Chains A and B, each alone.
Chain A
Amino acid sequence: MATIKSKTSSFSRNLMGVQLAQTPGLKQGLNGVTFISSGIPNLDNILGGGFPLGSLIMVMEDAEAPHHLLLLRNFMSQGLVHEQPLLYASPATDPRAFLGTLPSPLSTKDDKALDREPEQKGLRIAWQYKKYFGDNQQCSEGHRENRQEYSNDFDLRKPLERRSLSGGHIDCVSLKDYPKITAFHDRCSSFLAKFARNDAGPRCAGRIAIQSLCAPQCGYAEMEWDMISFIRCLKSMVRSSNAVALITFPPSLLSPSFAKRWQHMADTLLSVRAIPDEDKELAKLLTGYQDMVGFLHVHKVAQINTQVPVILEASTFSMKLQKRRSLVLERLNQAPVDGSSGTSYAKSAGCSGSSKAASIDF
């Protein structure tokens, strides 16, 4: 085998993990990938740990609803909680105003209460599996204690404290100020220069959040190739630094072929979709329909340093606001059909049981 003979053997001691333990907000993953939290614990679990450092995440917006802002706000807040430098760009005239809407982390007490309730509900349905759940629960509880540092639940109703917003590590940029995207590219590259990768491993990670990149206000409509060049350059810059970039864009504003090109650029590709107000058909099909605010679709999960694709158990998740304040993602559960036979009942119970397990620990 070539690996053994070679100088750079794959069997080397990994010292990065030790270091990472001291860096809050970063987690060591497989294949030499370091994860950073998306700000939504459920999404981190779905993606296998979070967003890999050095990856480009793209979120396709729903043209009629601002659901992408939920992801963006949690992503930004999580970075600020960990005091990671942030570059935020948006087509708004005063992007700094958006910082006022960022959610603050739930206090641990609330967190506990929030967690306990759905678990009990799950157990009531599948009481006969209680003994299996026991272990699982403990383990996930312990897990949670460890991970407290890594990702937080956010209270969408409570704005982030002024204290964390006032630090000098937040850059807010209005895309309107950059009639040529080259200038914005330079801005990003100077921001990312601080996080250049070196052998010492990541000490600090940066986040770039770009909202509605191809919105008409920015005036980039006639510059399709320039835009995609910009994304290509941003991707390669991010890849060689300890940072992640999250871009949201409305695909309907791009021509179909460019929308596809943009999607190919993404390492991790997500899309959000709102639920039409009163869709009776859907309400009949899905359980917990009234709490749902929208759907999140995972199109692509980053494959960095590996060729194996991540096959998720489900690719569409419902976005729910638990107790109207914290965003959770759940797999879709089909409602049991009325007057169904015994077998199908058993099936649906098993189904909800397994999905519960998935939301505890992916």
Chain B
Amino acid sequence: MDHSLNVLDEALRLDNATMSFCPGQVVLIEDCVETSGAFVLHHMIKRALSPNSSGVVLFVAFAQPFSHYERILRKLSCNLVTYRENGRFFLFDMLKLDYPDGDVGNTVHDRVFDLYGKIQKALEVISVSPDYNKSCITIMIDDLSLMEVAANGASNNVLDFLHYCHTLTSELGCSLVVLNHEDIYSDLMGPTLILQMEYLADVVIKVEPLATGLATDVHGQLTVINKGVIDEPGILRTRVRNLHFKVKENSVECFYPGSRS
């Protein structure tokens, strides 16, 4: 497969050599009912586990079972089973969490706390391994709204969890990739989870359906917002890229609007 960076990677400002994010970045993917943003996540798993980097992915799966990701990534020529055996891919299957019982406050707090404990433990294991110094760790959450549901609506707990993960990112240099649904929060007033996330994030990727309606050639549009990009003269600014995309089984095709004949 080709290992060159495509338009999407360029927009995400992935590192040319390691094909991964600069350490310590927080990435937020926002999607909506009409267009799923899961493919961006798949693309990032593939990049993080690409052969010429030694990245490690910790994947918190609320939305789909392992078999689903495994099948998709296999078509993207990335074998998750092998990576899991080699200790480069860790999946926390949160799909099987059972129904929260009556004693709400307690169990919910424990649940988020347990998950954090597991992630921390996994990180410890990774950091003692010999080839840690060159590896870049990515924590991915699919998706945050389901984590809220699992926490029975205690978004403060979820936010705490994210902050802890964020601390990890600065301590150990891992990046955090979170998928969330934007339209859930569009009617809510006040400091919603998504606004807090947007503030926290270095890169925001918005996945939307095409404004002009259904199309078979273009599946939707992406807005990639890079915060704090340092220009040549040393000016800090926010860079925004608009892309159109078409999702295929074995790749995601991204292109600038109108650039495809």
> A interface vs B, CB < 8 Å?
1-3, 6-8, 10, 31-32, 182, 185, 224-226, 228-230, 232-233, 236, 239-240, 255-257, 260-261, 263-264, 269, 299-300, 303-309, 311-315
Contact = CB atoms under 8 A, between A and B. Distances in A.
B68 A305 contact: yes
Interface stretch (B123-131, B148-156, B168-176, B229-237): B148-156
A3 B77 contact: yes
B38 to A, nearest CB: 6
B196 to A, nearest CB: 16
B4 interface: no
Contacts of B160: none
A1 B145 CA distance: 35
Nearest to B33: A263
B95 A307 contact: no
Given A299-B33, A309-B219, A229 B65 contact: no
Grouping DSSP codes into helix (H, G, I), strand (E, B) and loop, the B interface class, with mixed when no group exceeds half, is loop
A276 to B, nearest CB: 24
B223 interface: no
Contacts of B95: 236, 239-240
Interface stretch (B5-13, B17-25, B114-122, B178-186): B178-186
Contact of B68 (A304, A312, A313): A304
B215 interface: yes
Interface in B67-85: 67-68, 71-72, 74-75, 77-79, 81-82
Contacts of B101: 182
Interface of B: 1, 33-36, 38-39, 42, 65, 67-68, 71-72, 74-75, 77-79, 81-82, 95-102, 145-146, 149-150, 152-153, 181, 183-188, 214-216, 219, 247-249
8 contacts: A31-B71, A228-B149, A233-B99, A260-B187, A307-B38, A307-B42, A308-B249, A311-B219
Nearest to A234: B99
Contacts of A256: 187
A229 B100 contact: yes
Nearest to A6: B79
B35 A309 contact: yes
Contacts of B35: 309
Given A303-B38, A305-B68, A307-B72, 20 more contacts: A3-B74, A3-B77, A6-B82, A32-B71, A230-B99, A240-B95, A255-B187, A257-B184, A260-B33, A260-B184, A261-B145, A263-B33, A303-B36, A305-B67, A305-B72, A306-B71, A306-B75, A309-B247, A311-B215, A313-B214
A264 B181 contact: yes
Nearest to B42: A307
Nearest to B39: A307
Contacts of B36: 303, 309
Contacts of A264: 33, 145, 181, 184
Contacts of B153: 224-225
Interface centre among B81, B98, B102 (most CB of A within 10 A): B98
A226 B153 CA distance: 9
